Each structure stands twice: as structure tokens, then as C-alpha cells.
């Protein structure tokens, strides 16, 4: 199925078919132009530095009806094992693609479409072969002239990536005016497509419109507005301290974009979790390929069909891809990759980036503990924990995954949690418009199997046809129970009994470091003890989830829960290369004589005096 292309004043763009993919707007006449080394080397004018001009860039790719193989994905809890080259990798992601790897190699297409395949140079270099997939590694594809594809292409995304790289090399994305215009366009997308977003997220996972507006629209608009308010300041050179020798020179940090970056988003917050990193990538001056989750099908379709009508298609492209296509996409050389999903697939993504030494941010997950001390307001704790656990039907990477408390507190929490659940969702949550559904059948069956852990104290009802699992609390759960062996990612809250705070802290520290830790107590010393004696991506005392609403706080994991951080200024910094620069004066050469041979003890003494950094508070007696 070909997605209707956005009609733009730039004119019609011919569309060419790639096996398994349908481009919304593909390169004209040849599907895989490779850029020259730079606009200057190519000899083109700055206004039109590349042969195909500004109107022929691929906009978005969608999966065609062509079958690329099918296999049942492994369970979310399956572990990833390294495999030799050519071995199938099959792991559950819990996010944007259920498996990463191919069960069978992609066969060359029976009928080769125009512009798809190996590249043969044109012009002065005719007759010399070049691989279309050169864009996926090293300096390949950066030659002395344009090349065009004619046979079986090494990688179906090489032309797309190279086209965006050409746009980036032209310097188009660097001016602040351009970045502001693209960010404002994202704001218009959220405003004008608000109802479409609410409808798509409701269709995909029964997400209540209140939750969808709050997370997918309001928080994203906050990110856009905060970035627009501060972008000029963030982009400025940052001048730094200098030693005595360089006092007359200019030393500064230049905020450079990385280049062409890839963003892979999950399904649980399908707009928010690709748009927030996209905002920072645009603000930093990058070109971007972004892949929404194919699990949230309606939202994926909305992004592919609508968002491309707001952004510059020369610099930003949507790829709608499944397992095999994403594997091929990752083979290309990107300058930065931002992935949100499970730890198992995060390892595979990181292995793919290692091939090109590409920097990466991994926003993963984990089992987020929630310690409740004996000295707290039980009703408030119950409401805040229930809200954090059952928001989005529990499908939130930072939701409290389990509660640690004493036996006495467990007995107090049960009626308070039951009361909070009834207050939020009524006597029958299945009939509540404010409680969502599980995203897919596979996820539903996995969650249903976890209900055997401990004993069901609250809820436990399921309806496979609706993919409904009631807000459930499990009591007396043992560390060896199934619910404690994997991230739950659903509306199930186990309670594990501990004797005291020290035992709770030992329990937390004995496990991989989570994305978030929560602690509840009326005694701030208890909250601070949990904060100081544990390690996690983030921490929130006496509430859940609320720390991610602050763009002033970094959000990210540590260890198994992730690598890197974003939100607000931190997203801009993530997609920015902080380039150390020193611009020296061409004169005053006598000042440099101290470092030139022939060396002497006198020169060394003077050199130490001019270059040395002394500790503050120390004085030297002359």
C-alpha cells in the first residue's frame, strides 16, 4: 500500500518501488544518488550544492505487502546471546520491533526496479563500479562525482541516508532560523493533528484521551517551547578559562551537530518517545531518520502520512520498518543513534553502532523498586503508587514495578490501594474510559502468566478478546516468583515483604540498577538514605512519574537501564558535539619561544610557571 504523499509546492516527485518498501517520495529517476565529498569539492553553488536539488529527497518508507518472512517472536524475558555473523538473532524488544535479526537472508528481487542496486558512476568516472551500500561504512560513497544505482543494491536505505547526509553537508540545518522554523512546524503538527493523535493512540491501546493529551501532546509542546525559548543561548560558543600563555587568544566550545542521526522509538508512548529526541536533534542542527514503532500501527501510519507534511523532506525522513528492514537500516553509517526499548535489543543496537564507532543513547527499562516505610501517609502513598503503576495500563518504563515494605505496611496498604483503584476506575475498571488496554496479544499472554506469582489480593480479572487485565495487586510475592524475574510492563503490582529499610536497600542493590527508584516516608532522612545508598537512572521521593515532567532534569538510565540522558537542554547536548576550539594570534611569536627546542632548564622553569594550574587556597612564598 502506497501512503498518500503530501502535496507540496515544490512539485511532484517520481516514486520508485523498492522490494518490501514503498517510498512516499523517492529520489527522482535514480533511487540512490551518492553525494560528492562536499559542496565545494563537487563544484556546485551553495544554493543548489547537490545534483538532484532540494525537491527529490526520500520522505518516508512504508512496508509493502511483500512478505519478508514471519516467525513468532521470543518472550520478553528471553535473553540475548551473541551470535556469529549470519546467525539469526531473535529477541523480544517490548518496544519498537519484536525481533531484531533475520530468520532468512533477503533474496534479490525478481524484478529490479529503476534506481535500485549496485552503483555505476556516470560522467568522467563511467565504467568504474561502486557499491550503493557504501554509505553504510567508512568513506564509501563520497567520491568525485554522482553515481546512480542500476543493479541489486547492497542496502535499500543507503540512498536515503546519503541524501540526508548531502543535505547536512550543505549546511542547510545550521542556521538558527532554520532550526526554529522546523521546531515551530512540530508545534503546528501537535496543534493541528491533536484529534488524530488522540484517536490513533486510543485505537492502538485504548489510551484514555486525558493520558494521551498529557503525555503525547502537552509534555511534547513543553519541550518545544522550552527549546525555542533557549535555543539561541544553547547554540552560542561557550568561552572557557585560559592559562597565562593563551590570555590573548580565543578559547571556546563550539556546539556542532553530529550529522545524520537515527531515532528508533517504542510503542508505549508512540508520539512522545520519538518527538522529544527529535526536538533535540533538530535543535542541534542534525538531519534525522526516525522510525516509529510498528506495534502501534495507527500511530505509525499517522506519523508517516502527516508529520512529513510539516518537516523539510530533504533533511528529515520517516521509515516505517519491521524486523528485517530495521536490521538493514542499522547497517548504515549514522553519526548518532538514539534507541528506546528493551535491554536485550539495546545490546544488539549497541553492537551495530560499534561497527561504525557511532555514539549511541540507549533508553531502556528495568524493574523500578518502590520502598514504602512504616512512617508515611498510607492513603497518599496508595493513590500516588496506584496512579504511577496503572497509568497507561502499566505500560510505562518508569512505573513502579514492585513495592518493598514491611508486613505491617502491606496490611495497611491493601485496603488503601483497593480504595484508590475504585476511586480512579470505579467498581469495574473494565468499563472505565480512564483505563487502557494491553497493546497486543503476545504482551497480554505474557502478563497473564505473571498472575500466578504470590496471591492475587486485588483485581486479577482478564479478558483476552479486549486485551484487558484489571489493575492487580499481588501480595506476599517471593523474589523467586515469575513477576520478579522480568520487567512487568503492565497493570500488575507485586508487593515484596522486607523487614526494614536496610533490607530494602540491600534488595535493590543486589539487582541491576533500575531506570527509577521511588521512596515514600514522612521522615526525609529515610528518603535521603534510600537516595544516597542506591544507584538508578533517576529518583523520586514521595511520588511516582512526576520527575519526568521537568525538562530541567535529565532523564536516562544507568547500567542495564540505559546509557545517556535527554529532556530539555540535555537532549540538545546529547545530539551536539562539543568541539574544543583555540584560535591563536599569529603574532607575538616571542611568547612561544619557551616551548621550542633547544630545551633548557631555564625554559622548563618558565614554562611551568606559565602553564601550571595551582590548587585554590595554596600560596607560594617568594
Supply 368's cell numbers: 523500578
CB contact at 8 A, 372 and 409: yes
Q: Quick one: 375 exposed, middle or buried, by C-beta within 10 A (0-12, 13-18, 19+)?
A: exposed
Whole-angstrom distance, CA of residue 170 vs CA of residue 259: 11
Q: Mapping DSSP to helix (H, G, I), strand (E, B) and coil, where does residue 618 land?
A: coil
Pick from 183, 116, 199, 198: which is nearest to 152 by CA? 116
Q: Angle at which helices 219-235 and 176-192 pack, to 10 degrees?
A: 170
Supply 422's cell numbers: 475504585
Of 397, 405, 486, 487, catalytic: 397
Whole-angstrom distance, CA of residue 350 vs CA of residue 100: 12
Strands 516-520 and 538-541: parallel
The length of the chain in residues reads: 622
CB contact at 8 A, 158 and 32: yes
Pick from 471, 464, 472: which is nearest to 446 by CA? 464
Give the containing element (helix H, strand E) for 294. Answer: none
CB contact at 8 A, 98 and 295: yes
What is the CA 334 to chain-centroid distance, rounded? Answer: 14
Q: Mapping DSSP to helix (H, G, I), strand (E, B) and coil, where does residue 31 land?
A: coil
Please name the residues in contact with 144: beta carbons below 8 A apart, sequence gap of 6 or more: 36, 37, 41, 124, 125
The number of helix segments (H) and strand segments (E) in the chain equals 17, 22
Whole-angstrom distance, CA of residue 505 vs CA of residue 502: 5
Residue 376 annotated among the catalytic residues of the structure: no
Residue 107 annotated among the catalytic residues of the structure: no
Give the containing element (helix H, strand E) for 538. Answer: strand 538-541
Pick from 358, 433, 367, 440: which is nearest to 92 by CA? 440
Largest Cα span, the chain: 88
How many Cα atoms sit within 13 Å of 603 on the Cβ side? 11
CB contact at 8 A, 149 and 32: yes
Supply 17's cell numbers: 518501488
CB contact at 8 A, 22 and 1: yes
Of 363, 370, 486, 540, catalytic: 363
Strands 462-463 and 468-469: antiparallel
Strands 360-363 and 119-121: unpaired
Whole-angstrom distance, CA of residue 573 vs CA of residue 56: 31
**Looking at the annotation, which residues are catalytic?**
363, 397
Amino acid at each position: 500500500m502506497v501512503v498518500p504523499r503530501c502535496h507540496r509546492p515544490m512539485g511532484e516527485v517520481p516514486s520508485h518501488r523498492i522490494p518490501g518498501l514503498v517510498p512516499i517520495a523517492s529520489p527522482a529517476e535514480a533511487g540512490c544518488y551518492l553525494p560528492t565529498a562536499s559542496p565545494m569539492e563537487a563544484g556546485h553553488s551553495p544554493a543548489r550544492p547537490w545534483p538532484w536539488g532540494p525537491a527529490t529527497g526520500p520522505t518516508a518508507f512504508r512496508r509493502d505487502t511483500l512478505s519478508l518472512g514471519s516467525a513468532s517472536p521470543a518472550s520478553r524475558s528471553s535473553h540475548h546471546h551473541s551470535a556469529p555473523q549470519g546467525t539469526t538473532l531473535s529477541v523480544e524488544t517490548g518496544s519498537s520491533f519484536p525481533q531484531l535479526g533475520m530468520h532468512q537472508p533477503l533474496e534479490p528481487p525478481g524484478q529490479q526496479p529503476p534506481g535500485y542496486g549496485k552503483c555505476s558512476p556516470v560522467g568522467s568516472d563511467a565504467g568504474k563500479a561502486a557499491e550503493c551500500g557504501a554509505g553504510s561504512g567508512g568513506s564509501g560513497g563520497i567520491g568525485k562525482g554522482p553515481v546512480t544505482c542500476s543493479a541489486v543494491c547492497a542496502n535499500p536505505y543507503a540512498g536515503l541516508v546519503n541524501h540526508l547526509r548531502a543535505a547536512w553537508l550543505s549546511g542547510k540545518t545550521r542556521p538558527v532560523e532554520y532550526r526554529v522554523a522546523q521546531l515551530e512546524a512540530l508545534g503546528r503538527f501537535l496543534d493541528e493533528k491533536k484529534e488524530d493523535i488522540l484517536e490513533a493512540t486510543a485505537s492502538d491501546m485504548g489510551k484514555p484521551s486525558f493520558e494521551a493529551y498529557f503525555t503525547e501532546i502537552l509534555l511534547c509542546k513543553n519541550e518545544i517551547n522550552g527549546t525555542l525559548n533557549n535555543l539561541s543561548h544553547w547554540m552560542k560558543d561557550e568561552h572557557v578559562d585560559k592559562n597565562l600563555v593563551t590570555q590573548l587568544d580565543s578559547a571556546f566550545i563550539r556546539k556542532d551537530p553530529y550529522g545524520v542521526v537515527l531515532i528508533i522509538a517504542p510503542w508505549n508512548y508512540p508520539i512522545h518517545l520519538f518527538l522529544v529526541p527529535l526536538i533535540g536533534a533538530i535543535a542541534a542542527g542534525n538531519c534525522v531518520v526516525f522510525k516509529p514503532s510498528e506495534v502501534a500501527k495507527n500511530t505509525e501510519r499517522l506519523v508517516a502520512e502527516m508529520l512529513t507534511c510539516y518537516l523539510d523532506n530533504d533533511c528529515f525522513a520517516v521509515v516505517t520498518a519491521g524486523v528485517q528492514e530495521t536490521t538493514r537500516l542499522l547497517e548504515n553509517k549514522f553519526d548518532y543513534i538514539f534507541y528506546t526499548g528493551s535491554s536485550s535489543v539495546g545490546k544488539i543496537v549497541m553492537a551495530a553502532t560499534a561497527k561504525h564507532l557511532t555514539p549511541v543513547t540507549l533508553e531502556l527499562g528495568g524493574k523500578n523498586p518502590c520502598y514504602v516505610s512504616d512512617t508515611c501517609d498510607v492513603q497518599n502513598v496508595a493513590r500516588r503508587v496506584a496512579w504511577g503503576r496503572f497509568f497507561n495500563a502499566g505500560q510505562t518504563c518508569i512505573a513502579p514495578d514492585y513495592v518493598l515494605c514491611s508486613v505491617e505496611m502491606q496490611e495497611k496498604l491493601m485496603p488503601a490501594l483497593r480504595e484508590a483503584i475504585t476511586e480512579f476506575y470505579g467498581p469495574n475498571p473494565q468499563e472505565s474510559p480512564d483505563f487502557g488496554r494491553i497493546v497486543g496479544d503476545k504482551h497480554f499472554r505474557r502478563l497473564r502468566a505473571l498472575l500466578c506469582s504470590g496471591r492475587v489480593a486485588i483485581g486479577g480479572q482478564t479478558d483476552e478478546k479486549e486485551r484487558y487485565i484489571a489493575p492487580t495487586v499481588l501480595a506476599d510475592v517471593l523474589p523467586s516468583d515469575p513477576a520478579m524475574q522480568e520487567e512487568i510492563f503492565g497493570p500488575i503490582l507485586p508487593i515484596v515483604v522486607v523487614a526494614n529499610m536496610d533490607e530494602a536497600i540491600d534488595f535493590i542493590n543486589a539487582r541491576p540498577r533500575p531506570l527509577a527508584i521511588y521512596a515514600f516516608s514522612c521522615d526525609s532522612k529515610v528518603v535521603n538514605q534510600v537516595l544516597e545508598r542506591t544507584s538508578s537512572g533517576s529518583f523520586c521521593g514521595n511520588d511516582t512519574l512526576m520527575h519526568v515532567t521537568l525538562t530541567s532534569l535529565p532523564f536516562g538510565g544507568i547500567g542495564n537501564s540505559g546509557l545517556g540522558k535527554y529532556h530539555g537542554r540535555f537532549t540538545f547536548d546529547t545530539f551536539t558535539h562539543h568541539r574544543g576550539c583555540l584560535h591563536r594570534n599569529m603574532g607575538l611569536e616571542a611568547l612561544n619561544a619557551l616551548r621550542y627546542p633547544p630545551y633548557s632548564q631555564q625554559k622548563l622553569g618558565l614554562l611551568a610557571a606559565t602553564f601550571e594550574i595551582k590548587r585554590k587556597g595554596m600560596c607560594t612564598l617568594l
